[in-house]
Structure 1
């Protein structure tokens, strides 16, 4: 939605299926799964510790300092970033449950638009780190996920299980 005062986009007011403050089409947004609430766009950089400072300058240029928050992970899903508490010794299933309980199903497209069932339960999620699909019974530490990792992917498992189109299909044209 457009703010009539200054013609800026107001996050959280636009439609869309899963952005953390706006529609996925904006390509932005964040959601806090611990509180099941959006992270305002103006606080997103602070929450994810992405504010450049002069603590570790590079040739006089501010840089992002090392992370201090080792108790939260971040997952990208459907154009939105999801923040959830967790530890490397937690199982993948436990993290998936926390993400689902915290609202990651918001990433589902509307019923008539999607070609997959959507995220209906925590078991419908697939988590990916370093190109590997993680198994539910293993811990994050078994995949060498560091504490406070902010670069993981959560995706509907059905999307990963779909077959590729036939080589003769018009899809490839």
Structure 2
């Protein structure tokens, strides 16, 4: 993984199962400011055009995966798993939980709600196409109750 990538741990392309180079992240995630829709003469990031991928934060890294709102939660988890999200596991000696051992160990979160039902489509949780603000976390971490649900950790 690239060194010196801000405070995060970079980005991963689950479709190609490989790292997204730090110098390509802004382009891949459509975060380049342009003068298409300036605000008082200042460039802004235009609306995203990519509606075929969703982005999940997990362990400080962004994971980009092909997914659509009509996909079931389980199908999205399987795509993340096949794409290498298990690389977010800490080494066994540094874990307080079992880690991600299979796709069922993943919990997905959108807008503060856990997407529990693996058979339910993402759209039932109001996840829009091209959503880039989802969380993937080891279910055991959620079930542990630590940190406390009211902790600043979740802000």
TM-score, L = length of structure 2: 0.90
Q: Distance in 2 between matches of 1:52 and 1:152?
A: 22
Q: Distance in 1 between matches of 2:146 and 2:17?
A: 35
Partner of 1:88: 69
Partner of 2:124: 142
Q: Greater Rg, structure 1 or structure 2? A: 1
Q: Within 5 A, what are the aligned runs for 1:19-168?
A: 21-22=2-3, 26-135=7-116, 136-164=118-146
Q: Distance in 2 between matches of 1:106 and 1:128?
A: 19
Deviations 1:43-75 (A, max 9, x none): 000000000000000000000000000000000
Could you say if the C-alpha distance between residues 80 and 22 of structure 1 is closer, same or farther in structure 2, counting changes exceeding 3 Å? farther
Larger RCO (CA within 8 A; separation ≥ 6): 2
Using the TM superposition, give the Cα deviation of residue 123 of structure 1 relative to its aligned residue in structure 2, in angstroms.
0.2
Determine helix, strand or coil for the equivalent of 1:45: helix
* Count of aligned pairs between the two proteins: 147
Determine helix, strand or coil for the equivalent of 2:36: strand
Using the TM superposition, give the Cα deviation of residue 24 of structure 1 relative to its aligned residue in structure 2, in angstroms.
9.2
Using the TM superposition, give the Cα deviation of residue 165 of structure 1 relative to its aligned residue in structure 2, in angstroms.
8.0
Q: Distance in 2 between matches of 1:107 and 1:82?
A: 10
Using the TM superposition, give the Cα deviation of residue 145 of structure 1 relative to its aligned residue in structure 2, in angstroms.
0.6
TM-score, L = length of structure 1: 0.81
Determine helix, strand or coil for the equivalent of 1:141: helix
Using the TM superposition, give the Cα deviation of residue 163 of structure 1 relative to its aligned residue in structure 2, in angstroms.
3.3
Using the TM superposition, give the Cα deviation of residue 28 of structure 1 relative to its aligned residue in structure 2, in angstroms.
3.5
